[in-house]
Amino acid sequence: MSGAAGAAAAQAAIQEAIKASGAIVKIEPNEFSNLISKMDDGIVIEKGDNGFFDSGYKYSTSYKGFIFYCKSKNQITIPSKLEKIKAKRIWVPQ
């Protein structure tokens, strides 16, 4: 497979993964906090600050069939009724 064909195949695979995952909605940190405060149960994925090049926090959760994502300079308080999973990385297709 040539370089161009390989790149095209990789792009097609990424597009299929995006379709399979559904809509990913980027929201502001205050909206994310409001959203998770409404949840009775569920999981919030948190990727914390790891240094100079990767400052801030990233969060993701699923709510009513959508995946919500946000970046925040400050850590968001996760309600104790929700499970929090610390991730090494959160990847969101661009």
- The CATH architecture assigned to 23-94 reads 2-Layer Sandwich (3.30)
Q: Alpha helices of 1-94 — where are they, by DSSP H? A: 3-21, 29-38
- 16-56, pLDDT tens digit by residue? 666 665 678 999 999 999 999 999 999 999 998 766 666 78
Between CA 56 and CA 92 the distance in angstroms is 16
The predicted model scores a pTM of 0.74
Question: Where in the chain are the domains?
Answer: 23-94
